[in-house]
Structures are given as structure tokens and as C-alpha cells.
Structure 1
Amino acid sequence: MVPPIHPSTTFARNEQGLLYDSDRIYARDQSINTEMAEALLCQLEAGTACKIFASGMAAATALVQTLRPGERIVAPRIMYWSFRSWLETFCAEWGIELAFYHPGDEENLMAVLTAAPTHLLWIETPANPTWEVVDISKAVALAQSAGAQVVVDSTVSTPLLTQPIVLGADFVFHSATKYINGHSDVVAGAIITASEDTRWERLCKIRAQQGGILGPFESWLLLRGMRTMHIRVERSCENALTFARHFEDFPGVIQVIYPGLPSHPHHETAVKQMKGGFGGMLSIRLEGGRERTAHVMGQMKCFVRATSLGGVESLVEHRALVEGEDSPVPDDLLRFSIGIENIQDLIEDLEQAIKE
């Protein structure tokens, strides 16, 4: 019922120098436990192949490194801030053109895509931490008309709510640290491909040469996490929707940003694209500006003040404070990762913090 852990770094040969029962040579790129986790995640995403990396950043940067100098990538202006920061530096240093679009604005996306020959379109949906929802099918059609391949960061949706490859995407990215693992004890990333094309071959070579593979024990934990993902995600979605509805018209709250609310500008797209729930992530904007928002965060007792998301525990974070002065995130916004705890406890926790 529970697979063993295979920690070996090398694999033996017989008297003739031939490998005994596989083509595995060295664990820098060939790990039995990692392959098991890859096979399951590939199946969940309806992909052709999957590569798991030692972090989400390792996976995302490896895919961008398949671009050649002089080529062009289009990315959302609102996205995971560490990756955005890396993109800006890497592209400038390596002669890759980087252009940003506004997520959720199809006309803007079309204008940016067609402004110059584009090779890769990066989509993050819902977009962290303001949760714009991009219509993947429409974005794929726009990208194909511009000759670009599409990668979708589906970390928040998980393969249980959205399957980007089924909707036409070329690649799916996951920070597997989040919902795929779900227990805040593994750092991992994954890329799943629709076809094993030239770009995929480059990506595989990058992981093999740079040694960015996830270790056997961490891969084993990742596989274990996926065994309960359907239950965890279902509960988080239910809790998040209840939480969002409760605070939408609450005194002291300016706005609740959650794709599951009819008030969300992309709610209809989310209904069409996200099957079985709208995710466990939401943001709340509070009256009183930056200082008041930080104060409310500091009064919480059930929510843990911490970075990351997608675990069984509920987290809260003041994103503008974390990202710094150049953050595009409003400074009155708190980001919530809603876990699987008793929802009434979570509601009462934010209520008392707002009233303090």
C-alpha cells in the first residue's frame, strides 16, 4: 500500500557492464521515487510527460531557460513576485525580450502578444494575490495566432479544479510545495507537457545537467500528499467560499476578492473553467490603509502569519509589506490561504481582529 523509499544515488551493472533492469544510471536525474510522483501528476493533468524539480522556482526558471537570446516571453503583470523579479533580471541579462500584460484583460493580452513575435506566453490563473482569472482556452487561441506556446501556472487551481492541457495549453506549471504536497513540509516544483517537443527536450536536458531533481524522500512525501489532495482541496474550497461570503459586506471591509463570488469580475470565466470549486485562496482589502491592515493581521490568533499557501493550516500575509516598495499589490490587502480547520473558528478570528 505504501511505496518504499529508494535513496540510492547510483545503479549497478552486471558482469558485461549492462544495467540490470532499467536505464537508470545516476540519481541526479533518475530517481525511482521521483518518477512515481511524476507519473501520478502527469495522469492528473492529462499530460504526456512530467518533470519534478527541487523547487517551484527551479521548475519555472528551467522552462524559461529553454528560450534563446532574442526570443520573447509575455507574462502577467500580477504574478508570483519572486518569479517576476527573477524574470526581469534574467531576461535583461540574457537578451530575452520580456513584456507584461494585465491578467483578465483579453484586449490588452492580444495587443501585447501581437506587438512583436512571441515564443512563450506565461499565464497564472487565478493570479496571485489579486486572483484575476484568465480564460485559458481564449488565451491559447490568441497565443497560437501569434505563434507562441502557452504555459499555465495552475498552482492555485490544482489539477482537480482545472486541467490546462485539456484546454489547449502546451505546459502546466505547479509550485508543488503548495496544494500538491499540502502539508508545508516539502519544497518542490513540476512541469507537465502536452507533447515531448523540442522545448521539452531542452527542459529535460537542463534538469539533468543542473541537477535540479527532487530528492527521494521529498518525492515520497509528495506522492503521499497527493493521496489526500482531493479531500484537502474540497474542504479548502468549501471553507474559502463560506469565508468570502461572510466578509463580503462586513463592516471595515472594502472588498473581498474571490473568484467564487458573483461580484468577482471574472466569476463567469471561473465557473466555466474551474470545476468542483474556486480554490482556497482569497484576498480582503480593509479600511484604514497600510497601518490598519497590518494591525488587523497582528491581532489574528487562528491564522498563522506566514508566507506560502496550500497547506492544511490557514495562513495570512500582508503582501505589500512582504514584497516591498515596488509591489503592485494594494497596501490595504491581506492574502488568505484558507485551510481545512473549522470554518467558524476562522470567521470568528478575523471578526475579532477587525474589531480590535
Structure 2
Amino acid sequence: MLKISKKNLSFESATVSAGIDHNDQYGSHTPPIYQTSTYVFDNVEAGAKAFAHEEGGASHVYSRLGNPTVERLENAVAKLESFGMKDSDIYTGMAFGSGMAAITTGIISLARNGHVIAQDALYGCTSQFLKEEAPSMGISTSFVDTSDTFLVEMELKQHPDTTLIYLESIANPTMSISDIRAIAKLARDHNALLMVDNTFATPYHIQPLDLGADVVAHSSTKYLSGHGTLIGGALVAKKALFDEMNTWIFRKNLGGIAGPMDAWLTLNGIKTLSLRMKQHQEGAMKVARFLENNPLVEQVYYPGLESHPQHDLASSIMNRGYGGMISFELKGGYEAGVHLMNHVKLCTLAVSLGCVDSLIQHPASMTHSIVDEEIKQKAGITEGLVRLSVGIEDPEDIISDLQHALQ
């Protein structure tokens, strides 16, 4: 049999093999689900060694601390986010029961009673957490347009106590893109960390760690699982950083670890990530061009369009296309948006994204209704903005559905 080093695999092949380990004692082809809450010790001495993490002790003691199926997922996500990097072996993953569990645990452990500079356009719950809950934990936040690196630099000068910069690789829902490489350098120069939510792009399109970010977050509910069947999240960083910041202990005590069934489903989803992302982005480009040429559409926000404010930057940091997410502003504002969403047939009116079917929603009244009004206006989340997660259907069918609903 021809033996190929995993270091020489393409990213596409790596997505298939990332969660595979054929060393299972029964020779199982797919990873088994360790659906257990606790683990058995041979004797008291063995249990003591396990809890003390001593050599020769059992590797698992309780599934809130760790689980073999969950660890498979953690290894798989870490391999993909650090794919092709020379020091990929020093990165590790942490799986969570939701994207927000990953994000909040990451922020709490990394910010450490300091200041956070956050992107103004963020997922609604992330924005709400930083604005309303984080202050009670000693964490202050200023929201800026991180697509303008100069503003980030000025904010760092105004807040020398900044410990964390937080942004999304592609902003939800405005689709703005920040120069991760430049901001990572600014963070290092000011002794701060950079955390990037890579949910929209996935490592198929952007690898923030390779651009200098310290931590990557995911809502694995979305593209990583891909089928809308679970809730999950993940963090990836250098193991030494997680150890230094006690992120493992925060997850243990906050209780946010992923369950084995959700981890197993996500592992199955990752196997087809490359295939799905290729179809998502090819369809999204066609749909975006249709919308851009439609007289009822005021503005389209898609990184692959030359009209996108950061198109050149996107082209320089995005691999294999521009993703499957589109936002667009309708002429007629809120009423036009309501009319569109109430008349689509193929596209599904639902929050979330990254499913194999196309999902459409109205951020101002749905996902971002909880965001502070001042932040929302500053970020450009208007009443007439529509967010579309382009599925893997035939793009001509999606276009036909939108065309009918717009009219």
C-alpha cells in the first residue's frame, strides 16, 4: 500500500482524514461515540494517579473534563486551523457545547480584568456579552471599526490596559474584513492577544493563526458540522497559551465542554467541509452578482465582488474563494425586506447559517435585535439589511427564488 505523509496532504484531503484514527481496539472505521459520563478505575491508587495527572494514570476521569470522542474533534479542528504551518504540532483545540460557550470562555480567560478592543459589527450575543455582562467581570470594552487598522492603533494608544483584541474574520452581518496580519502585529507590539471568530470563513478560506492571530473561535454549529443538527463551538490556540491562561480550568468549572454525540456529528460534517465550502462559495458568487445587478437592491456586501470595500484585502488573505455568506440592502428598507423574506420558497426563513440549504434572515429584528442601538448604527446594521447563507442548491434555483420573491 502506498504510504503518504499527512504533512503532504492537500487541505481537501486533510478535512477527510483529520478526525480519523484507525487504532481503535475493535478496528472501527469511524470514530466510536464514547457516550459516558464517567470512567472506571482499577483501584484507588489508579484513580489518584488519574486525578493528579501522573504518568501511568488513566487519561479520562469524567466527561466534563474530557472525552475521547470530544478529543478527536479537538484534534481535527486544530489540524485544520494550523494546516500547513511549520509549528502546527504545538496547537491544540478545545470543544464546547456552543459557539457562545467557546467565545465567552475564551474572552474571560484571555482578557483577565483588562480592556477589550472589539469589532463594532459582531454576532449579536457576542456584542451583548461584551457590552452588558463582561463589565461585571472587570472587563471593559470599546467597539471600533477594525476594518480600519488606523482606528485600532489609535484605540490601543487610548487604552494601554488592552489585553485582548476581538474580531471576526468576516463580520456578521456586514461582511466587512479586517487586516488580521496587521492587527496581529499591533497586538504583539502592545502586549495584547488577538482572538478571531472564524465561523463565516472556516479554515477552508482563512487561517487566522497563520496570519498571526493567537486564538481562533468557531461556532461549529455552522459550517464545520454543516447540516443544522447540533449546537457546538471550538477554540484553537497554542497549548502553552491555554495552559498559561488556565483556559482548560475555566472550561472545566464553567462546564461548557461539548457532548460526545455532538462531537461525533461534527466530525462527520468536517469530512465534507471542503466539498461543501466549494459549492457554497461558487453559488454565493453567482447569487451576489445577480443581486448586484438587480434594480431593487441598493447594495450588496460580498467579499468576492469588486465593489466590496475590502475586496483586495479579501483576495490576499482568502484561500479558495470568498465564502458562502452575503448581506444586501434593499431599496424600500424594512418593508422590502419583510416582503422578500415572506415570499421566498426555496430559501428558508431562519437564523443560523452554514447549512446545506439556504437560510435567509433579517438581522435588525432577529440575530442583532439585542445589540445596542448606537453600536448597531455605527456598524451599519440597518433596518433594511438582509443576510443570506447560500446553500449548496443549484445557484440558478436560488436566484430564481430570490427574483420571484423580490418582485
User: Same fold, TM exceeding 0.5?
Assistant: yes
Q: Superposed, which structure 2 residues align to 1:51-130 within 5 Å? A: 51-67=94-110, 70-117=113-160, 118-130=162-174
CA contact (8 A) 1:169 1:194 kept: no
2:35 maps to 1:7: yes
CA change 1:201–1:148 in 2 (3 A) is: closer
| Matched pairs, number | 355
2:370 maps to 1:353: no
CA contact (8 A) 1:285 1:332 kept: yes
2:343 maps to 1:294: no
Q: Give 1:21 deviation, angstroms.
A: 7.2
Bigger drift between 96-105 and 338-347 goes to: 96-105
CA contact (8 A) 1:34 1:52 kept: yes
CA contact (8 A) 1:62 1:207 kept: yes
CA change 1:55–1:198 in 2 (3 A) is: closer
Letter in 1 for 2:393: E
CA contact (8 A) 1:79 1:124 kept: yes
Match of 2:68 in 1: 32
Q: Superposed, which structure 2 residues align to 1:171-190 within 5 Å? A: 171-190=215-234
**Share of identical aligned residues, percent?**
35
Structure 1, unaligned runs of 5 or more: none
Q: Give 1:103 deviation, angstroms.
A: 2.8
Secondary structure at the counterpart of residue 46 of structure 2: coil
CA change 1:107–1:351 in 2 (3 A) is: same
Secondary structure at the counterpart of residue 152 of structure 1: strand
CA change 1:210–1:91 in 2 (3 A) is: closer
**Scaled by the length of structure 2, what TM-score is found?**
0.84
CA contact (8 A) 2:169 2:208 kept: no
CA contact (8 A) 1:49 1:196 kept: no
2:252 maps to 1:208: yes
Q: CA RMSD in A?
A: 1.6
CA change 1:142–1:68 in 2 (3 A) is: closer
Letter in 2 for 1:75: A
Match of 1:265 in 2: 309
Q: Give 1:198 deviation, angstroms.
A: 5.9
CA change 1:68–1:173 in 2 (3 A) is: closer
Displacement over 4 Å in runs of 4+: 67-70, 198-201
Secondary structure at the counterpart of residue 360 of structure 2: strand
Q: Give 1:95 deviation, angstroms.
A: 2.4
Q: 1:160 aligns with which of 201, 204, 220?
A: 204
CA change 1:85–1:15 in 2 (3 A) is: closer
Structure 2, unaligned runs of 5 or more: 1-28, 48-55, 83-87
Match of 1:340 in 2: 392
Q: Give 1:194 deviation, angstroms.
A: 2.9
Q: Give 1:150 deviation, angstroms.
A: 0.5
Query: What CA distance in whole angstroms lies between the structure 2 residues aligned with 1:16 and 1:321?
Result: 56
